[in-house]
């Protein structure tokens, strides 16, 4: 099973589409497939820079792409719902049980209000998710109705990710403490 396989999975893509529609109606920023591709690629890039094996990088890509499928059920606790949905979807692939659980755990723990980094894959996923900041994620609405996420995303016109590879042993710890920019900076 590969990242390419999951990107072409009809059920995953429909869940992402429905979740993004739901969030749009609730006034949240864009959480589409484009967001999930960026998160997947950023998580992979982070692990690659730290020298993790390609196998772990692929697991991070898969988790990154699937991380917001739970929004199709509900925004509240979407990470946990997403983990449960991912578990069922991933059972249809030739994926080892430990790899499936690693992906499910990363997805289930990516929201800081209910989880946190439990391993390097989940840490890279959290950082990838939090660093997808761009004006195009803001939905069409009056600027006066912008929430904090809209204001931050709208303010960003260019983004660069800088990674300090000397801090590898603290990757999961820093993500857990919400000190993302200590090791990964957006400039």
pLDDT digits (tens, 9 = 90+) for 100-120: 999 999 999 999 888 999 999
β-partners of residue 162 are 185
Instruction: Indicate the pTM of the whole model.
Output: 0.84
- Are 79 and 108 spatial neighbours (Cβ–Cβ below 8 Å)? yes
Q: Which is more confident, 60 or 164?
A: 60
Q: What is the pLDDT of residue 160?
A: 77
Tell me how far CA of residue 183 lies from CA of 78, 117, 131, 152, in angstroms: 27, 14, 12, 20
Q: What is the pLDDT of residue 87?
A: 98
Q: How confident is the model at residue 184 (pLDDT cuts 50, 70, 90)?
A: very low
Q: What is the pLDDT of residue 14?
A: 98
On the CB side of 48, how many CA atoms lie within 13 Å of its CA? 11
Query: Residues near 170 by Cβ (< 8 Å), separated by ≥ 6?
Result: 182, 183
Mean pLDDT, range 122-139, rounded to an integer: 82
d(CA 57, CA 43) in angstroms, rounded, equals: 8
Is 56 in a helix, a strand, or coil? helix
């Amino acid at each position: 099973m590969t990242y390419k396989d999951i990107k072409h999975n009809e059920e995953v893509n429909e869940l992402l589409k429905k979740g993004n529609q739901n969030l749009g109606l609730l006034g949240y920023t864009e959480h589409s497939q484009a967001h999930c591709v960026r998160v997947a690629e950023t998580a992979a890039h982070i692990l690659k820079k730290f020298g993790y094996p390609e196998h772990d990088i692929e697991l991070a890509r898969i988790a990154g792409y699937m991380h917001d499928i739970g929004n199709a059920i509900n925004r509240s606790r979407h990470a946990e719902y997403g983990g449960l949905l991912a578990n069922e979807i991933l059972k249809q692939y030739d994926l080892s049980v430990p790899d499936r659980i690693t992906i499910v755990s990363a997805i289930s723990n990516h929201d800081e209000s209910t989880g946190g980094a439990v391993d390097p894959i989940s840490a890279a996923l959290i950082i990838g998710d939090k660093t997808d900041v761009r004006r195009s994620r803001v939905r069409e609405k009056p600027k006066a109705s912008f929430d904090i996420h809209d204001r931050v995303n709208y303010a960003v016109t260019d983004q660069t990710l800088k990674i300090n590879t000397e801090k590898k042993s603290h990757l999961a710890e820093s993500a857990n403490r919400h000190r993302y920019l200590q090791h990964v900076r957006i400039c």
